[in-house]
Amino acid sequence: MALIKDNALRPDAWVLVADDAELPESDPAIVSFARWRRDRARLARRNGPLGLRLGSDQPPEGVADDLAAFDLIALEFPKFTDGRAYSYARILRERYGFAGELRAVGNVLRDQLFFMRRCGFDAFEVGDDIDIGAWLEAFAEIEVIYQPAAGDTHALQALRTSLSPGPTRMRVTA
Amino acid sequence: MYAYDQRDHAMLAQRTAQFRGQVARRLAGQLTEAEFRPLRLLNGLYLQLHAYMLRVAIPYGTLSALQMRGLAAVARSYDRGYGHFTTRQNIQFNWPKLDDVPRILDDLAGVEMHAIQTSGNTIRNVTADAYAGVAADEIEDPRIYAEIIRQWSTLHPEFTFLPRKFKIAVTGAPRDRAAVRVHDIGLQIRTNEAGDVGFAVIVGGGLGRTPVVGPLIREFLPKRDLLSYLEAILRVYNQLGRRDNKFKARIKILVQSTGIARFTEMVEEEWRRIAGGSLDLDPHEIARIAANFAPPPYDRLEPVDPGFEFKLAADPRFAQWCGTSLARHRQPGYAIVNVSLKPVDGVPGDVTAVQMEGLADLAERFSFSEIRATHWQNLVLPHVRLGDVHAVWLALATLGLATPNVGLASDVIACPGLDYCNLANARSISVAQAISRRFADLKRLNDIGDLRINISGCINACGHHHVGNIGLLGVDKKGEEYYQLTLGGSDDEDAALGDLVGPAFPYDAIVDAVETIVITYMDRREPGEGFLATYRRVGLAPFKERLYGAHQG
C-alpha cells in the first residue's frame, strides 16, 4: 500500500500488527480494537508510537477515554459506500479533539478524498498503482463549500461568503 | 426566486468539470461501472431499462421562466423533445447519451440548475409546498429554509454515503401540501406559545416497501437550531442505519427498531453537543436568504374583478376549468393557477419542449416569470391577476394544457412503471391513461369530486400508492401484470396509509375495479361528503362486497 499525506506520496513508517504477533520494540505500530481491549495495560506502557485501527462497526465512543494513548487512528472503509467512518472522523476531531493522524484505510478511492479530508482525515492509504497527480487533483476540484465540517470554526454565513479550502488547506484544529 | 451569487456559480462550474472528468475516466475504462455508479448517481444519472435517465432538481419546486426555457432546450437538443415532471419536484430526461451529460449539466448551470444529489444515498432535492409564498394560510415561506437546507446539504462531506437515500420536505402552512409526514424528515413551520416561529420536526416517515406515517420527535425547534438539529439526526442515522439490507436501510426502520423515544434521545444528546456552534443560523443569514423570496411587485387590486366575474358567468367551460384550477392567493386580486399535466390519454407529468416554452411565455407575461412544480406532477403559475386568468386559460388551451381536472379522478399520479423502469412489475402509465379515458366525461368527473388516484408499478412506491385515496400497486403474478388496490390513503395533514381491499386484479380488469369503487362511493356518500370522509365512515366492507361479492358468492 502507498500513503498520501500532506499532498504527496509518503513513506509509511507504521506497521499493522496482527492480533497474535509480537509488537516491535519501539517502531510505530497499529493494533486492532480487539488487541487494544485485550492488552490495554501493556500497550499503554509501551515505548513507541501507537496506532489504533477501528472497523466501520466500531464507533469511537468505545475508546473515548483512551484517545491520549494513540498517535494515529485508522478508520476502515470496508466498501466505499459504507460511510460510517465519515461521522467517526468528525466525532474524533470535533467532539474529542483528537489531534493525531487520522488515516482512511480500506476501499479508499480518488473521488472520496475530498469528502474524507473535510471530515478530518489527513492520511489516506491507497493502492500502489495510483496516478498520484490525478489523485491529488481530487482535493482541489471543488473549492466552494456550503457547510462547516472538521476544522471549520467559522460561522455559517462567513463560511459561505469567504471560505475556500485550497489544496494546501489541511489544518485540523483540536 | 433564489438568485445564485458568484460562489454558487463557481461551485456548479467546478462540479460539472469534476463530473466531466469522471465520465472521461469511465469512457476510458479507468473506472468500473461499480465505481462509476455512485459518482453518476451523485449527479442524478440513472441507468434505466433502455437508456440513461437524468434527473434534474427543481429545488422546492420553484422555476423561473428562464429556467423553464433551459429545460426546453435540454429536451430539444439532447432528448426526444420532452421531459417528465416527477412527484418530488424534479424533472427527468429519459434519453440522454452519457457523453452528452457533462454538456447538459453545463447548459443547466447556465440557468442556475443542477442534478446534484437527485439520486444516490444522499440528502436528496429538498421539496416544499408548491404554493409557498402565495398560499393564503401560510405562516412563513418554506422556501427560505428549503434553500438553507439545500446549501447545507450540497456535497455535505459527512452525509454523501448514507445507508440509503434521504428526503426532506418543508411546509409553511397548516394545510400540508408537501407530504411532510411521509418523508425521512418533515419540517412544518409553526408558531409556539411565545409567538416565535420555528419548526415541528417529523422523522422517519416514508413510503416504499414499509410505509410509515412519520412520528413527531420535536414539537418546536427554534429557527437558529435548524441545521444543527438536522446534522444531529443525520449523524445518528449515518452511524446506526442498517447497511446490511437495502430494504431496511431507511431512517424509518431505524426509528421503529430503536423506538421513537430512544431515537429522539440520541438525536437530542448529539444536538446538545453541537447546538450553538458553527451551524448556528444567524438571523442575518436567514434574512439574506429570505430577501431572495420577497413577494414580487404586485399591483394593488380589488379582491373582485368584474371582467373575470363576467367571463366566469358567461362561459361554462372557463368556469369549469377555474373550478378545478384556481386556488386562493394571499394577495387581493390575484389567483394561483394550477396547470394540469394530465390530459385525457396523456402520460402523467410529461411536457413537450413546445409546451415548456409556451409556459415560460405565459409566466413572463402573467406571473412575474415564476412557475412551480407540485408533488402531484402538475405545474403552477403562482401569481396571475384575476383579470388575466381568462387570457391564461385560452393560451393554455392552445398548448393542450387546459385540462380541467386538477384534484379530480383523472389527475392520476403515476410512476414511469414498466415502460421505462427496470424495477417495475407492471405498467403504470397505460393504466393512468385508461383511467383518464374512463373518467373523461367532465360532468361525471365533477360529480365524483376530489379524488386522488395513485399508481406505482412496484413495491418501491414511486407513485405513492399508499397515500392515494385509491392506490394501485403493480405486482407480478407468474409473469402477468396484476394490481393491488388500497383505499383511504392521504398525504396531507391527516396523513393515512391506504387499506388493502383484497386480491389483486389483472391488467384487463383494473380500470373496471377502480370504476366500481367510484360508483360505490357515489352510492354511499352523504350530500357534499368527499371520498375520504365516506370511506372513513363506511369502511372497507361495502367496497369489498361490490368488488368481490359476485365471485365470493
pLDDT at A159: 56
For domain B127-290, the question of CATH label 3.30.565.10 is answered with no
Phi and psi at residue B505, to the nearest 5°: -110, 145
Percent of chain B past pLDDT 90, that is, above it, reads 90
Mean pLDDT, residues B42-61 taken together: 91
3-state secondary structure of B494: coil
pLDDT at B42: 86
Domain ranges of chain A: 2-142
pLDDT at B154: 94
Extract the C-alpha cell encoding B434.
Answer: 385508461
Contact at 8 Å (CB) between B132 and B142? yes
User: Residues for chain B: how many in total?
Assistant: 553
**Beta carbons within 8 Å of B258's beta carbon, 6+ residues apart:** B240, B266
Query: Measured between CB atoms, does A55 come within 8 Å of chain B?
Result: no
Contact at 8 Å (CB) between B35 and A109? yes
pLDDT at B551: 56
Q: What is the Cα–Cα distance from B432 to B430, expressed in whole angstroms?
A: 5
- Give the residue on A whose Cα is nearest the Cα of B237: A84
pLDDT at A168: 33
pLDDT at B549: 86
Extract the C-alpha cell encoding B412.
Answer: 392520476
> B408-422 burial by CB neighbour count: b if 16+ within 10 A, else e?
bbbbbbbbbbbbbbe
Query: Measured between CB atoms, does A86 come within 8 Å of chain B?
Result: yes
State whether B161 and A80 contact (CB < 8 Å).
yes
Distance from CA of B421 to the nearest CA of A (A): 24
Q: What is the Cα–Cα distance from A33 to B338, expressed in whole angstroms?
A: 60
* Range with the poorest average pLDDT among B56-60, B147-151, B276-280: B276-280
Average pLDDT over chain B, rounded to an integer:
95
pLDDT at A172: 35
Domain ranges of chain B: 6-110, 127-290, 306-399, 414-552
Q: Which of A76, A80, A92, A111 to mutate to test the interface with B (most CBs of B within 10 A)?
A: A111
pLDDT bracket for residue B550 (50, 70, 90):
low
**Out of A86, A91, A118, closest to residue B161 by CB:** A86
User: Residues for chain A: how many in total?
Assistant: 174
Q: What is the Cα–Cα distance from B352 to B73, expressed in whole angstroms?
A: 11
Provide, for chain B, the percentages of residues in helix, strand and coil under a 3-state DSSP scheme, each rounded to the nearest 5: 45, 20, 40
Nearest partner of B512 among B429, B406, B439, judged by Cα: B439
Strands A29-32 and A15-16: parallel
pLDDT at B291: 95
Burial of B478 (0-12, 13-18, 19+ CB in 10 A): exposed
- Backbone region of residue A7 per phi and psi (left: phi > 0; alpha: psi in -120 to 50; beta: other values): left
pLDDT at B533: 96
Q: Which residue is listed with cell 472522523?
A: A89
Mean pLDDT, residues B147-166 taken together: 96
Query: Measured between CB atoms, does A159 come within 8 Å of chain B?
Result: yes
Contact at 8 Å (CB) between A17 and A31? yes
Distance from CA of B460 to the nearest CA of A (A): 21
B6-110 and B127-290 agree in CATH topology: no
**Out of B157, B227, B288, closest to residue A149 by CB:** B157
pLDDT bracket for residue B213 (50, 70, 90):
very high
pLDDT at A174: 31
Q: What is the Cα–Cα distance from B236 to B242, expressed in whole angstroms?
A: 12
Burial of B228 (0-12, 13-18, 19+ CB in 10 A): buried
Q: What is the Cα–Cα distance from B504 to B482, expressed in whole angstroms?
A: 6
Extract the C-alpha cell encoding B281.
Answer: 443560523
pLDDT at A1: 85
Question: Which positions 256-275 of B are in contact with A (Cβ < 8 Å)?
Answer: 273-274
Q: List, edge to edge, every strand of the sheet that includes A2-5.
A: A8-10, A2-5, A123-126, A101-106, A72-77, A50-54, A29-32, A15-16
When the candidates are 3.90.480.20, 2.130.10.10, 2.40.50.140, 3.40.50.1370, the CATH number that belongs to B6-110 is: 3.90.480.20
Distance from CA of A173 to the nearest CA of B (A): 14
For the domain spanning A2-142, the CATH number is: 3.20.20.70
CA dihedral sign of residues B24, B28, B34, B35 = negative
pLDDT at A162: 42
pLDDT tens, position by position, B484-507 = 999 999 998 888 999 999 999 999
pLDDT at A145: 87
State whether A152 and B278 contact (CB < 8 Å).
yes
Query: Measured between CB atoms, does A167 come within 8 Å of chain B?
Result: no
Q: What is the DSSP string of B335-402?
A: EEEEE----TTS-TTEEEHHHHHHHHHHHHHHSTTEEEE-TTS-EEEEEEEGGGHHHHHHHHHHHT--
Q: What is the Cα–Cα distance from B200 to B173, expressed in whole angstroms?
A: 12
Question: Is the pLDDT assigned to residue B68 strictly greater than 70?
Answer: yes
Question: Which positions 14-53 of B are in contact with A (Cβ < 8 Å)?
Answer: 14-15, 17-18, 21-22, 35, 38-39
pLDDT tens, position by position, B217-267 = 999 999 999 999 999 999 999 999 999 999 999 999 999 999 999 999 999
Contact at 8 Å (CB) between B445 and B461? no
For chain A, 174 residues long, the average pLDDT of each consecutive 10-residue run is: 93 95 94 96 92 98 96 97 97 97 96 94 94 91 87 61 40 34
When the candidates are 1.10.3720.10, 3.90.480.20, 3.40.50.300, 3.60.10.10, the CATH number that belongs to B306-399 is: 3.90.480.20
pLDDT at B34: 85
Give me the architecture of the B414-552 domain, per CATH. 2-Layer Sandwich (3.30)
Q: What is the Cα–Cα distance from B57 to B173, expressed in whole angstroms?
A: 23
